[in-house]
């Protein structure tokens, strides 16, 4: 891994700083200086660590404990007294012959498909827009600001507006597709039934691509202009420049971008909840709302927590595999470059 390659350099830098630092100048000052040097960062980190512990780790551990308990409305008031359920909640969540497990599996598969489609589209649109915006032209600043609007808008307001547009009787989408363009035979349903998947995907991509655009645009700033000039001199066209310079140079940026988009999209709760409420149509039943429904609507907190733990394990495995593959890829490329 790259850690091994970079460590000595970092260590070297550390020593260099140590030599030049005032604390290291005299023999007597060396010890307190080192203590300060080692202790201060931790001291500064302490408030964040305490908060992190309270806000994330404690609820997380509680969530894991809950997943092993039979936690229903009978016990929520004194949830620590709920009887132990062992692995029962997990068994219920993954029993694909029973309705709860089947619904969970369905929801999981819908979420996987949704995430792949949404992240893919966000990335393609974001990258295309960022590459396009590299050229200087009149009104570029304004256009860039417009592109970022979906990212800056409050989620609730934006998604509710989409809900209005997707309405069957009075919605703008049917008005355009059916009344004006005549693309559909009759007005379609977007908020119920099978089409709800596409409606959700549309809103998700609309909301997500400006982030990809922003990150890719930042990544593009780091590519030296000379590389393009040299490539142009060598006769490389725009497509070749994109394939040979832009995309490879963006690789580290994309690596993080895709991972972040994947995690956000997979866990997105706000968009489906605001669009469909607590009972999403089957075609758009994302796992986050499904778990919410199991926990807070049907008051099966134990099963809901078990589903959360399983989801967490899945995301950890996917993230781990992704990181290993992508970092291997970059190490291999570096070696080849050398």
Partner 1 sequence: MSRIRVAAVCAATLSLALTATACGGGSPTGGGSNDSPKTLTYWASNQGASIAVDKKVLQPELDKFEKKTGIKVKLEVVPWSDLLNRILTATTSGQGPDVLNIGNTWSASLQASGALLPWDAKNFDKIGGKDRFVESAIGSAGATGKDPAAVPLYSMSYALYYNKKMFKDAGIAEPPKTWDEVVAAGKKISKGGKWGLAAEGSNLSNNIHQVFVLAKQHGADWFTADGKPDFTSDGAVAAVKQYVDLMAKDKIIAPGNAEYAQNQSLSDFSKNKTAMVLWQAAASTFKSQGMSEDDFGVVPAPVQSGAPGQGRNVNSMVAGINIAVFKNTKNLDGATKFVKFMTSDEESKLLNKTYGSIPPVKAAQDDPAFDAQATSVLKKTLGTSAAPLPQVADESQFETAVGTAVKELFADAAAGKPVTTESVKAALTKAQQSMPNK
Binding residues (CB under 8 A) for partner 1: these are 1-3, 6, 56, 59-60, 62-64, 66, 72-74, 76-80, 98-100, 103, 167-169, 189, 191-194, 255, 259, 263, 267, 269, 277-279, 281-282, 288, 291-293, 295-301, 304-305, 307-309, 311-312, 315-316, 319-320, 323, 326-327, 330
CB of 60 to partner 1, least distance (A): 4
Q: Which is nearer to partner 1, 60 or 177 (CB)?
A: 60
CB of 179 to partner 1, least distance (A): 14
Alpha-helical runs (H) found in 2-80: 2-20, 30-52, 58-66
CB of 301 to partner 1, least distance (A): 7
User: Taking the chain, what is the end-to-end CA distance rounded to the nearest angstrom?
Assistant: 16
* Residue 179, number of CB atoms within 10 A of its CB: 10
Alpha-carbon distance values, 194 to 101, 115, 269, 282, 285 (Å):
21, 17, 19, 8, 11
Q: Which is nearer to partner 1, 272 or 281 (CB)?
A: 281
Angle in degrees, 0-180, between the axes of helices 247-267 and 196-221, rounded to the nearest 10: 140
* Residue 80, number of CB atoms within 10 A of its CB: 10
Structure tokens at 18: 């140590």
Q: Are 268 and 288 in contact (CB under 8 A)?
A: yes
Q: Which is nearer to partner 1, 202 or 298 (CB)?
A: 298
Q: Which is nearer to partner 1, 3 or 28 (CB)?
A: 3
Q: Which is nearer to partner 1, 86 or 277 (CB)?
A: 277
CB of 227 to partner 1, least distance (A): 24
Q: Which is nearer to partner 1, 241 or 327 (CB)?
A: 327
Closest CA to 222 of 204, 185, 196, 248: 248
What is the spatial distance between Cα 264 and Cα 257, in angstroms, rounded to a whole number?
11
Q: Are 115 and 265 in contact (CB under 8 A)?
A: yes
CB of 277 to partner 1, least distance (A): 6
CB of 13 to partner 1, least distance (A): 15
């Amino acid at each position: 891994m790259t850690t091994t390659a970079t460590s000595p350099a970092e260590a070297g830098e550390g020593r260099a700083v140590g030599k030049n630092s005032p604390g290291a100048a005299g023999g007597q000052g060396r010890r307190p200086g080192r203590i300060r040097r080692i202790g201060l960062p931790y001291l500064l980190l302490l408030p964040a660590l305490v908060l992190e512990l309270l806000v994330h780790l404690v609820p997380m551990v509680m969530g894991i404990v809950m997943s092993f308990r039979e936690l229903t409305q009978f016990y929520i008031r004194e949830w620590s007294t709920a009887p132990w359920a062992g692995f029962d909640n997990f068994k219920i969540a993954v029993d694909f012959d029973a309705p709860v497990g089947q619904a969970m599996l369905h929801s999981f598969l819908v979420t996987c498909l949704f995430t792949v489609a949404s992240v893919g589209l966000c990335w393609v649109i974001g990258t295309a827009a960022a590459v396009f915006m590299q050229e200087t032209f009149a009104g570029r600043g304004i256009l860039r600001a417009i592109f970022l609007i979906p990212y800056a808008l409050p989620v609730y307001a934006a998604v509710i507006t989409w809900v209005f547009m997707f309405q069957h009787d009075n919605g703008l989408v049917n008005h355009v597709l059916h009344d004006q363009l005549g693309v559909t035979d009759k007005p379609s349903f977007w908020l119920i039934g099978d089409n709800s998947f596409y409606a959700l995907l549309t809103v998700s991509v609309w909301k997500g691509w400006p982030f990809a655009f922003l990150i890719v645009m930042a990544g593009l700033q780091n590519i030296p202009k000379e590389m393009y000039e040299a490539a142009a001199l060598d006769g490389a066209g725009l497509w070749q420049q994109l394939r040979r310079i832009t995309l490879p140079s963006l690789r580290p940026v994309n690596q993080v971008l895709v991972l972040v988009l994947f995690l956000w999209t997979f866990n997105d709760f706000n968009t489906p909840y605001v669009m469909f409420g607590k009972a999403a149509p089957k075609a758009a039943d994302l796992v986050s709302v499904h778990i919410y429904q199991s926990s807070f609507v049907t008051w099966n907190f134990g099963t809901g927590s078990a589903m959360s733990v399983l989801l967490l394990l899945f995301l950890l495995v996917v993230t781990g595999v992704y990181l290993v593959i992508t970092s291997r890829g970059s190490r291999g490329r570096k070696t080849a470059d050398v």
